Structure 1
Amino acid sequence: MAQAKTLTQSELDQVLRYISNRKYAERNRAMLLMGFWAGLRVKEIAQLKMGDVLNDDGTIRSEIRLSARQTKGNEGRTIFLPKKLREELAVYLATRHATSKEIPLFHTSCRLGWTPNVLTQHFYWLYKRAGIANASSHSGRRSFITTLANKGIGVRVLASLAGHKSIAVTQRYIDVNDETKRNAVELI
């Protein structure tokens, strides 16, 4: 099976432009950016509850603590939310009228929570309709890791952010292309 496509900033912008003109734009944008800006897996995005993201006073947490049930590998982990992602979540949450801690953070048009499989298909169609070929639900996560690696973040930090036990797994996520190599040799 081929690896998920790593999106360029231009391709991410293309998908976000497509989303902005569609129904549930705020929700779809926030869900997609959870992968690109926090490195969440589709299962983790689908299983988020309001209480995972909101403090008791209604503010958005800067860190999400995922339980072993919500993650891959039966081990909980902490997700760090950058300021720009917290701002996106605030825009999305302004469209929500329910704030009970136990309801899904992201819901379908029927107000039900997403299953990982259905959310995987949803992402596939968002990319396809936006004109991005070969992208998948894992593209955000792979792009997150590659982007940070290209900015000089060490593989041990990347492995921890991704929830990988082995840095060898993390290294497989890092996409190397001609532009990356051009930038690398300019550091000499």
Structure 2
Amino acid sequence: MAKQAKTLNQQELRRVLDYVATRKHSLRNRALITISMYSGMRCGEISNLLYSDVIDAEGKVRNEIRLRAEDTKTKEARTVFVSEKLQKELQQYAKVYKPKDANVKFIYSQKEDSDGFSPNTLCQLYFNIYKGAGLLNCSSHSGRRTFATEIANKGVSIRVLQKLLGHKNIQTTAIYVDANDDMLRKAVNLA
């Protein structure tokens, strides 16, 4: 079995966000990290988001993002619920990135005449951001696994988590949750 992507703790997330703040395209890259960490979306789903999927006609971040079937791994449409925390993060990005055409990719590429990132190039960007921040064993899936672990750590049922992640099989969802020391400590204190 392939090695799973590392889940990040709050210090490591802060480290990544501090790192991207010092780099070119800082708001875009912050949006990339936070959309993954706070929504659990897959890299391919993020790369296919259109500006209009995320931002409404008034320029506000939507509280729900509707993923098209052709853009999901399972080929089934689903709704991603956007937390207030993520809405604030994405609103900062939307204040700066205002394309004339709302049907362009939400995550822009700096390449001229580009249609945004492909899933593969976006996955590479995630890897390079984590590597630049000095975090090993991280990938585009780290945000998704961190999201799953954080939600599970707060006591959300695995069935709800399955729906949030868009998994067909609940056993797949169970693999995502990283049983860390904090979770184990809380569990024994319930007895």
TM-score, normalized by length of structure 1? 0.96
Identity %: 44
Residues 3-26 of structure 1: CA deviation (Å, up to 9, x unaligned):
111111111111011011111111
Partner residue in 1 for 2:158: 155
Moved over 6 A (4+): none
Unaligned runs of 5+ in 2: none
CA contact (8 A) 2:145 2:176 kept: yes
Please show how residues 38-187 of structure 1 align to structure 2 within 5 Å: 38-110=39-111, 112=114, 113-187=116-190
Q: Structure 2 CA distance, aligned partners of 1:93 and 1:54? A: 8
Q: Structure 1 CA distance, aligned partners of 2:175 and 2:6? A: 12
Residues 40-96 of structure 1: CA deviation (Å, up to 9, x unaligned):
000011000011012222221100001011111110100000011111111111111
Unaligned runs of 5+ in 1: none
Shift in alpha-carbon separation, 1:99–1:62, aligned structure 2, 3 A: farther
TM-score, normalized by length of structure 2? 0.95
Residues 151-186 of structure 1: CA deviation (Å, up to 9, x unaligned):
000000000000001111100001012232112112
RMSD over aligned Cα atoms: 1.1
Q: Structure 2 CA distance, aligned partners of 1:35 and 1:147? A: 13
More displaced 10-residue stretch of structure 1: 97-106 or 158-167: 97-106
Q: Which amino acid aligns with 2:150?
A: T
Q: Which amino acid aligns with 2:96?
A: T
